[in-house]
Amino acid sequence: MSSKLITPESPLLVPPLLAAEIGLEEAVILQQIHYYCQISKHIKADGRRW
């Protein structure tokens, strides 16, 4: 077994202070938006960044 996780999925990381301030579901959504904004800087199609 190469992974110590229960499932092979990547865990969601949510800052506890943010979750306490705005709520868990909202913090998860905000974290996902932030994640996709960060990875989209490296996606290019037809010479454009997406």
- Residue 10 forms part of a structural domain: no
Neighbour tally for 27: CB within 10 Å: 19
Residue pLDDT, tens place only, 3-49: 677 888 777 789 999 999 999 999 999 999 998 888 776 667 777 76
- The Cα 50–Cα 36 span in angstroms is 10
By the 8 A CB rule, do 43 and 50 touch? Answer: yes
By the 8 A CB rule, do 13 and 24 touch? Answer: no
- The Cα 49–Cα 45 span in angstroms is 7
- Residue 41 forms part of a structural domain: yes
- Residue 4 forms part of a structural domain: no
- Residue 45 forms part of a structural domain: yes
- This prediction's pTM: 0.62
- Residue 2 forms part of a structural domain: no
- The Cα 34–Cα 28 span in angstroms is 10
- Residue 28 forms part of a structural domain: yes
Q: How many domains does the chain have?
A: 1
- Residue 7 forms part of a structural domain: no
Structural domain boundaries enclosing 31: 16-49
